[in-house]
Amino acid sequence: MATSDHTYHPELTNAGLDAAAPVTALDEFGQPRDGHIAAERALTIYLDKREIITLMTLGTKPELLILGWLHNQRLITNLEQIRCIQVDWITGSAAVITYDGVEGLDEKLGRKTVTTGCGQGTIFGSLMDDLEKITLPRVETQQSQIYGMLQTLNNHNEIYRQAGAVHGCALCLDTEIQLFIEDVGRHNAVDAIAGHMWLHATPGHDKVFYTTGRLTSEMVIKVAQMGIPVLLSRSGVTQMGLELAQKMGITLIARAKGNHFLVYNGAENINYDAIPEQHLRPLAVNQA
């Protein structure tokens, strides 16, 4: 794999597949309509030949997804432990081979049993434990930068536009999109971005994380762990997502679409340098 930096890179396959499949459905007139649906594939991770988990994924960036998943689950903390990741779609498996095994794997998997699950498929307990250690820088975000990002992002939602049923996440620097990943689950898309950042030792402090999905506790925690201080979403916010953002000082901007957005936390970090014309202001005020 080509490296743009001097960090260590494990050997990775490049087994990304097409995101959408053609399909014909009957509409309300009983007439056939051609279109596309999002792919969804089961990928079972074997860590040093031991079966760990089955992820359901779009399958476009399986190696980054596995890297980010291993990292976010705290199963592997040092990239240099990993010799290779080999994704094979014929068997729906990903072989992760380490140099020296994973110390305390049994204990780590035991922990997983207790806390993994419906928190959208993450190890919630462990994630929460680590939050105390996180300090995020306070950065200023320009309103014009938000609009610039939204404009650029508009051009990136390709799979969604083609096939629907996916979530997109993006890593942004100023108004530039450094990485845009879609998946059938938003936790996969954020894991894949984490995998990319881990692989390239990308700092988070100067980035904005964008997602089409909702800002739940899991999203806020994962993005905080990536060291990113600003979160931008097309969707809404949950109460726990907001509370965690308040605790960690994350700027939380949601319902961002066109010229509209709502700042749920960190409004003091927003520089309102591009306020729209007042006649565009909605009359209803009870729509946060």
Q: Is 115 in the site for its own copies (CB under 8 A)?
A: yes
Q: List, in order, residues 6 or more apart from 103 with CB less than 8 Å away.
A: none
Please, which residue, 202 or 217, has the CB nearer to its own copies?
A: 217
- Return d(Cα 255, Cα 288) in angstroms, integer: 9
Among 2, 4, 24, 107, binds its own copies (CB under 8 A): 24
- Return d(Cα 250, Cα 230) in angstroms, integer: 6
Among 29, 49, 107, 132, binds its own copies (CB under 8 A): 29
Please, which residue, 125 or 137, has the CB nearer to its own copies?
A: 125
**Window of 46-54, 78-86, 194-202, 203-211 that interacts with its own copies by CB under 8 A:** 46-54
Nearest distance from C-beta of residue 240 to its own copies, angstroms: 4
Nearest distance from C-beta of residue 203 to its own copies, angstroms: 26
Instruction: Compute the residue count for the chain.
Output: 288
CA dist list (Å): 109 to 52, 104, 115, 152: 8, 9, 10, 40
Q: How many residues bind its own copies (CB under 8 A)?
A: 84
Q: Which residues of 52-81 are buried (b: 16+ CB within 10 A; e: fewer)?
A: bbebebbbbbbbbbbbbbbbbbbbbeebeb
Site for its own copies in 148-187 (CB under 8 A): 163-165, 184-185, 187
Site for its own copies in 249-268 (CB under 8 A): 254-255, 259-264, 267
Our CA angle for 219, 225, 231, nearest 5°, is: 45
| DSSP alpha helix (H) spans, 36-142 | 62-72, 105-115, 124-130
Site for its own copies in 79-108 (CB under 8 A): none
**Window of 55-63, 134-142, 171-179, 195-203 that interacts with its own copies by CB under 8 A:** 55-63
Among 92, 125, 137, 203, binds its own copies (CB under 8 A): 125
Among 14, 34, 107, 279, binds its own copies (CB under 8 A): 34
Site for its own copies in 220-239 (CB under 8 A): 235-239
Name which of 213, 161, 203, 214 is nearest 178 in CA terms: 203
Name which of 171, 182, 211, 190 is nearest 69 in CA terms: 190
Nearest distance from C-beta of residue 174 to its own copies, angstroms: 19
